[in-house]
Amino acid sequence: MQITPAILPENFEQIVHKLFLLEGVASRVQIDICDGVFGLEKTWLPYQGEVLPEGFDYEFDCMVVDWKKYIPRVITLGATRVIAHIDTFTDSDIEELLKMFEGSSLKLGLSVSNDKDIQQFAKVVQKISSRYSKVFIQVMGITKIGAQGQPFDENVLQRIEYLKKECRNIEIQVDGSMNPETMLKVKNAGATCAVIGSYLFKTDDVKGRVEILTENFR
């Protein structure tokens, strides 16, 4: 099972500091950006001129209303994986999203809140993946998007099982309330990646915790 540390940054300096803590133990890192509207907490948002340290595969989770503004920015910043939350996407929004990724090597993550219909979401994933093959799914392990430290939403297990059946051969990762107990649950349901934030960084030995999880969930 892939272990992806998640950074919910107040500022760019916090990103750099947490990346330092992950050197040598994590290859992929998720950076969350929230506008305080779609995502509950307002985080650092990419502007221009920031330079991310080398040595990581950067995944950006764009929990923002103005995704048309910020997805291009994180691509410019060096993202290799970008997650779009498509809760309110129209057909024209999907077309515009696909144009952003057309002809690229980027991986496009699709996510939706847990109160949205999973059958409809699966249909949208199927539609997008039929036109752009480098798609993965991010399921939320929590009910409120954009805040760490929330309780695990047990309903996510059925959502994973359904998506595993309907969206075959598409990677499913889970973000939110991930710890050894909940990771085992989502792994058994069919997820192949866990995105972990507060469980990792609320310890004095971040590297040690990543190493233990990586070893236990091979």
**How confident is the prediction for the chain on average, in pLDDT?**
95
Predicted TM-score of the model (pTM)? 0.96
Residue 209 is part of which domain span? 2-216
Give me the pLDDT at residue 148, please.
73
For every residue of the chain, which 3-state class applies, written as one string?
CEEEEEECCCCHHHHHHHHHHHCCCCCEEEEEEEECCCCCCECCCCCCCCCCCCCCEEEEEEECCCHHHHHHHHHHHCCCEEEEECCCCCHHHHHHHHHHHCCCCCEEEEECCCCCCHHHHHHHHHHHHCCCCCEEEEEECCCCCCCCCCCCCCCHHHHHHHHHHHCCCCCEEEECCCCHHHHHHHHHHCCCEEEECHHHHCCCCHHHHHHHHHHHCC
Mean pLDDT along residues 140-144:
92
- Judged against a pLDDT cut of 90, whether residue 125 lies above it is answered with yes
Q: What is the pLDDT of residue 207?
A: 96
- Confidence (pLDDT) at 145: 83
CATH number at residue 10: 3.20.20.70
Q: What is the pLDDT of residue 150?
A: 86
pLDDT at residue 106 in the model: 98
Please state the rounded mean pLDDT for residues 138-152.
87
Neighbours of 59 (CB within 10 A): 25
Please tell me the total count of domains within the chain.
Answer: 1
132: pLDDT strictly greater than 80: yes
Q: pLDDT tier at 40 (50, 70, 90 boundaries)?
A: confident
User: How confident is the model at residue 87, as a pLDDT?
Assistant: 93
* pLDDT at residue number 160: 98
